[in-house]
Structures are given as C-alpha cells and as structure tokens.
Structure 1
Amino acid sequence: MDKLLNDFSPGLFVVQTILLLLLIFLMVKFAWKPILSSLNEREEGIQGALDAAENAKREMENLQADNQKLLQEARLEREAMLKEAREMKAQMITDAETQAQAQANKMIEQAQVAINAEKKSAMAELKSQVASLSLEIAEKVVREELSNKGKQLELVESMLDDAKLN
C-alpha cells in the first residue's frame, strides 16, 4: 500500500477521473438509452409471456371445468338411459307375464268348456244307454210277466194298490 501512495500522481488522477466522467457521459448519451430500451422491451416480453402463460392456465382450467361438466352430463345421461332400459325391461316382462296369464286363463277356460261339453255328451250317451237297457229289461220283464196269466193278474193288482196309495 505504501508503494501505491508513493507512486500516486495527482495529475494522472485528474486525467483518469476526467476520462472516466467522459466515458460515463458518452455511455449515458449513446448507450444508456438503447440498453434501457432493450431491457424494457425484454421486461415487457417477459411480462407478456407471463400474462400469456396465466391466460393459458386460466383457459386450461376452464377447459378442465368444461370437460368435468361434460363428463358429469354424460354420466347422468348414461344413468338415465340405463334407468329407462331397466324400466322398459320390467315393463316388457310385466306385459309378457300378463299376456301369458291371459293366454293361460283362456286355455283353461277353453279346456273347461271342452270338458263340460264332453261331460254333457258322455251323460247324454250314458242316459241313452241306460234308457235303452231299461227298455230292454222292461221289455223282457213284461214279456215274461205277460206270458204267465197268473202273474199278469198279480201285476195288475199290485199296480192298482200302488195307484191307490199315492
């Protein structure tokens, strides 16, 4: 440090100071404005990019919200369609059961009508056969009774007694 103080020249110091001030003046005059303007432009560009990024972020959030809304609507629509399909299935099953029950009732009714008709037919045939058997038996009995004169008189008397009692 002593060496610096010994070699110190006040004239040189003044010249260097003047040169430094001149250099600063020239830098302020010619270089400072372009440097500041380029710094301002760069700052504005960075701010614009930050604003654009913020806008993009907001748009992305809006798109995500829209996507969530659309997804929720799609889910609700799917649920509604599934519910409608279940209701249609239940209605179709109910309709089929009702139709099957009606058909079964109709078939039972037809079977009962057919059974009653067959029963009446069988009863009529049975009555016819019983009547014809009764006639044959009566005819045989009457022939045998009428072939014997004593039995004829006895039969007439019993019929007369029955007629008087009634």
Structure 2
Amino acid sequence: MSINATLIAQLIVFLILVGFTMKFVWPPIVKALDERAEKIAAGLSAADKAKAELSNANKRVEEQLSSARNDAAQRLADAERLAQSIVEEAKSRASDEGAKIIAAAKAEAEQESVKAREALRQQVATLAVKGAEQILKREVNAGVHAELLTRLQTEL
C-alpha cells in the first residue's frame, strides 16, 4: 500500500470519527456544559439574593436593637423620675413630720412654761402673804418695812 492510500484512509476514518463525535458525542457534552452554566448562574443569583436578604435582616436587627435601647433608656429615665419623686415625697413627709414634732415640742414647752409661771406666781403670792404677815406682826415702821421688802426681793 502506498503512503497516499494510507493517508486517504486515515483521513476518511478521521472524518467519520469527527462526524460521529459531532452528531452523537458533542451534543450531550454541550448540553451538560449549558446545564452546568445555568446551575452556576442560579447559584450566583441565589448568593446575591441571600446577600441582599442578609443585609436587610441586619438592618432590621439594628433597627430593633436601636428601638430596644431607646425603650430601655426611656424605662430607665422613667424609673429614675419615679425614684426621684418618691425621694421628694419622703423628704416632704419627713419635713411635715419634723414640723409637727417641733410644733408639739413648742406647745409642750409653752405648757411647761405656763405651769412654771403659775407655780412661780403661787410661790410669789405665798411669799407676799408671809411678808404681809410679818409686816403686820411688827409695828408699822418704814425702816423695818424696807428691810422686810429687801429680804422678800432676795427670796424671789
């Protein structure tokens, strides 16, 4: 056989192989590659969508956290105001109680003072009566009376 005949035979076999591959082998490979490309595109699209959803979820979480912080701060401020009003009310009550106690003490001191004055008046009256008795027992003399009055003053 000559080299030309071998070459032509190999060329014919090669062309048959190429035709067979183009008709039966190539379409399933292209189909598989297209499906793979679609899956990759769908995966990338799903990843982008998931990123967007994650971003939205993070924003919602931040908003809720901010709302919770504001709510907590508001409740804390309300509690502080309530505590302050309770303290002020307690101070007011204590001040009122102190004023009542002071008023009662003043009234009691005034009563004691009145009792002491009454007792003093009684003693002065008794001493005056004693002094008058002594004056009346002796003779009426200005010098003696002055001496008795001086003693009476010293006793008072």
Aligned to 1:15, the other structure's residue is in SS state: helix
TM-score between both structures, scaled by the size of structure 2: 0.80
| Number of equivalenced pairs | 140
Match of 2:4 among 6, 10, 26: 10
Output the aligned Cα RMSD.
1.9
| Aligned residue number for residue 64 of structure 2 | 70
For residues 59 and 7 of structure 2, what CA distance do their matches in structure 1 show? 70
1:108 aligns with one of 102, 105, 108: 102
| Residue 59 (1) aligns with residue 53 (2) | yes
Amino acid at match of 1:50: L
- Counterparts of 2:8 and 2:59, CA distance in 1: 70
* Displacement of 1:128: 1.4
Report the counterpart of residue 82 of structure 1 in structure 2.
76
Quick one: percent identity of the two aligned structures? Answer: 29
Shift of 1:75: 1.6
TM-score (norm 1): 0.75
Query: In the aligned structure 2, how far is the partner of 1:54 from the partner of 1:66?
Result: 18
Q: How does 1:9-48 map to 2 (within 5 A)?
A: 9-48=3-42
- Structure 1 gap ranges (5+): 1-7, 146-150, 153-166
1:68 and 1:10 mapped to 2: Cα distance? 80
Q: Deviations over 1:61-109 (max 9, x none)?
A: 2222222222222221221222122212221221111111111111111
- Which structure ranks higher in relative contact order (CA pairs < 8 Å, sequence separation ≥ 6)? 2
Unaligned runs of 5+ in 2: 142-156
Partner of 1:137: 131
